Chain A
């Protein structure tokens, strides 16, 4: 199959890669760039595990072709922060027990980042609405909601 060369910035780093037109962004990130923090739970756009940030808005990387990311800025969970310097949402999920198996977590975190950018002081309903497209089988969502509330507080206090 004809390959196309794309230029894409992922977590602040520029990449130029040849990809097949049908290559999914999720596979591109996980396999070509070995950024395995982005998870694939359904490959049909339903579970939200594969959510990444593309030019500042969330995208389901299992529904996005890599070629569509040509010229785009992608941010994944690996770019949010590190163990030594966590992003407030990471810090909050860690402290407030916002995860169990952790498989849904990358998608939840990226969705939370988008919400908090638009709405620094979301209500519980706002949060539940924002993550309603992200499935979790372990937590019942309660600690996830609490984590996002806490992240909002941290971000209001310290700035992102």
Chain B
């Protein structure tokens, strides 16, 4: 069920014909009939099959690697080791269009001498068949001499700890120093301090990493790959040592991303072997490869010390965050930056100290995942709000109300978000949406939880983000959109179509969208950071508006009116309020073509450009804008078994403006699944860095039996910086889910489990400890 609430003040003069409607998506027919080719569905004649050989110890020295037997095997075309590669690395820094190297973050493409994590690639094999490639992998002899590793961030920070790389294990540190925290604590009636722990999480997209590469007649390496980021052609070219214009990345509709296909995956391996062999090569990860082959969500240890008055007003907050960066840097410095900025949540805290640290270990490296550090912060600040409310015996919603950041107020970094802040409206609606409480019954205790969030949309302003889109109209009045944006399942390209046709007054079945080709479609930037709709949506809108302006000018001439009297809808062009003055769009387009009037437009949208936050105070503008909302749940907990069931789930988000409400609800419902798994069941167990849960039978994400229906309450402040006032919903949909569940469990059983996932064992242990004390 969905309710839509709009701000009547902004609604008055806006009437959409396409936007804001739950139109069926342009990509759906191909997907329901099995006709849509995913990256793994492409093959080429004379194609080779690849396999990656991986280290089976997390911390070791490679003392011997003998590939001679594998090379001699019939049907093996090529085996590459680090010895065969120039001393190049594959960049792990922020992907995208800046092309600038910002940190010393690179990982060797293949292990040369030091293995730093379980599964690090040792050799690449290309053979006539997959079976032969697998056989060749077995024939490779290697010897790893274990080196003491470090698998815990607190251990890694101790003097004398084994070093993962560099001089110490500190990957990055960031801080906020705002106001006078000591004075704030002095004014507090109560100080509440707690430490919360969040776990690794696997993206678990259903489509494992896959790609196909070949070298074409222009000596360009083409890579057809499942990726969120076609702009990786630049680091791929750098890794190969070829010019940037000699690599072309073509996406396909992606079988799920969630941040896990944001870094490079199979691209460099494919490109190397395509170049080396001169033949097309295909590499598809097995599910186990996928589990050990891409970065995870950062586990965090978050210590919150909050000063509050008796009435529940926060006077000071001191936060310490430690994130496990794993064995290589990847996006860790930015993930902790997001966590830093998000530390106080959607609350007004004028006296604020935050210290965030990313620490290297020999665990799997960690990188982007939906929520990107801000989600881990939310897991802590929202549990902390409930702990404060309980300590003060204040209603949990009332405590939050006393502290909510309001529209026009400065956030943690001193920046005033340009849009409306509707956290309070969202919180009230989500909480009320739970309805009548379900009664406890014997050992089955019920409880409720609420969590509110602040989540950025759009990339860090110091990255100077831009996005391009091209819109054209054909001679028969149909519309073509071209943009490099990748579609990872959320309906990214369909939304672009919806925006373009809204502006041009045609219907959605009259548009075709070409996307995701680094050589042909205008570069749109990445589908990451909840930026696709904001950035590329704005670019598509600008392009369509530019085109419309030219068409309207010609139509105005035809009708003897001014261009602002012209409207376009349902494939017709007409004078507003004068129905007799109308002509089919196709006639206007033909006139334009005959007169040489340009029938297409390429637009670039620029996000606000900013500088890095002040390194001492953390003050400045980190992101273009922020989204706000809330999630409420009711759970039941079986106090005998520790089993938790989510009974009700209500989400309320201010999305600014829905482009497609069905797509928005889809994000919210999917985010609820990701968040519920994170809170309760998804557990990556590592033993000395070795993943012992590398399959879906061990790593348990919620099934249809575990998920409740999610009631989606969509608010539209029309205040966002996206097209038509839209904000973003991709990441926000997930951020508050897990803490809402944690708060509900604590409410149900009267004791908090401070570490996620809240497994039955942890629940039972917490109850036993409470009973013992």
Interface residues of A (CB under 8 A from B): 30-31, 35-39, 41-44, 46-47, 49, 76-78, 80-83, 86, 90-91, 93-95, 97-106, 109, 127-129, 131-145
Contacts and interface: CB of A to CB of B under 8 A. Distances in A.
Contacts of A39: 38, 206-207, 255
When A and B form their complex, which 4 residue pairs have the shortest distance between CB atoms, in order from nearest? Answer: A37-B34, A101-B489, A102-B31, A103-B255
A135 B205 CA distance: 10
Interface string B668-679: 011111100000
A81 B707 CA distance: 30
A95 B24 contact: yes
A36 B696 CA distance: 22
B33 A103 contact: no
Interface stretch (B464-472, B572-580, B624-632, B697-705): B697-705
A101 B710 contact: no
Contact of B707 (A78, A91, A142): A142
A101 B253 contact: yes
A135 B703 contact: yes
B287 A137 contact: no
B32 A99 contact: yes
Contact of B204 (A78, A90, A137): A137
B488 A101 contact: yes
Contacts of A91: 32
Contacts of A37: 33-35
B37 interface: yes
Contacts of A138: 256, 489-490, 666, 670
Given A43-B286, A142-B707, A137 B258 contact: yes
B689 to A, nearest CB: 23
Contacts of A99: 28, 31-32
B256 A142 contact: no
Interface of B: 22, 24-25, 27-38, 40-41, 43, 203-208, 253-258, 286-287, 488-491, 662-663, 665-666, 669-674, 695-697, 701, 703-705, 707, 709-710
B697 A102 contact: no
Nearest to A128: B704
A155 B657 CA distance: 36
B669 A83 contact: no
Q: Secondary structure of the A side of the interface?
A: loop
A106 B703 contact: no
B669 A139 contact: yes
A45 B344 CA distance: 44
Contacts of B257: 101
A42 B287 contact: yes
A83 B29 contact: yes
Chain A CB count within 10 A is highest, among B31, B40, B207, B695, for B31
B253 A86 contact: no
B423 to A, nearest CB: 23
Contacts of A98: 32
A94 B206 contact: no
Contact of A78 (B34, B37, B203, B488): B34
Contact of B33 (A86, A97, A136, A140): A86
A49 B665 CA distance: 23
B704 A132 contact: yes
10 contacts: A44-B287, A46-B697, A93-B32, A97-B662, A103-B489, A105-B32, A129-B704, A138-B256, A138-B489, A138-B666
A90 B35 CA distance: 12
Contact of A97 (B25, B30, B203): B25
B6 to A, nearest CB: 22
A83 B669 CA distance: 27
Contacts of A143: 662, 665-666, 669
Contacts of A144: 704
Given A83-B30, A100-B670, A106-B34, A46 B696 contact: yes
Nearest to A142: B669
A139 B29 contact: no
A141 B254 contact: no
B29 A94 contact: yes
A105 B257 CA distance: 16
A46 B673 contact: no
A128 B32 CA distance: 20
B669 A140 contact: yes
Contacts of A47: 206, 287, 696
B665 to A, nearest CB: 8
A140 B32 contact: no
B205 A132 contact: no
Contacts of B669: 139-143
Given A83-B30, A137-B204, 20 more contacts: A43-B287, A78-B33, A80-B33, A83-B35, A90-B33, A97-B24, A100-B489, A101-B254, A101-B257, A102-B253, A102-B255, A103-B255, A105-B31, A127-B704, A137-B256, A138-B256, A138-B666, A140-B671, A140-B673, A142-B707
A74 to B, nearest CB: 13
A128 B704 CA distance: 5
A49 B255 CA distance: 11
Contacts of A101: 205-207, 253-257, 488-489
A77 B696 contact: no
B695 A46 contact: yes
Contacts of B674: 137
Contact of B489 (A46, A102, A131, A134): A102
A104 to B, nearest CB: 5
Contact of B704 (A44, A78, A131, A137): A131
Contacts of B286: 43
A135 B206 contact: yes
Contacts of B673: 136-137, 139-141
B73 to A, nearest CB: 16
A35 B287 CA distance: 21
A103 B38 contact: yes
A41 B704 CA distance: 17
Contacts of B696: 42, 44, 46-47, 135
Contacts of B208: 41
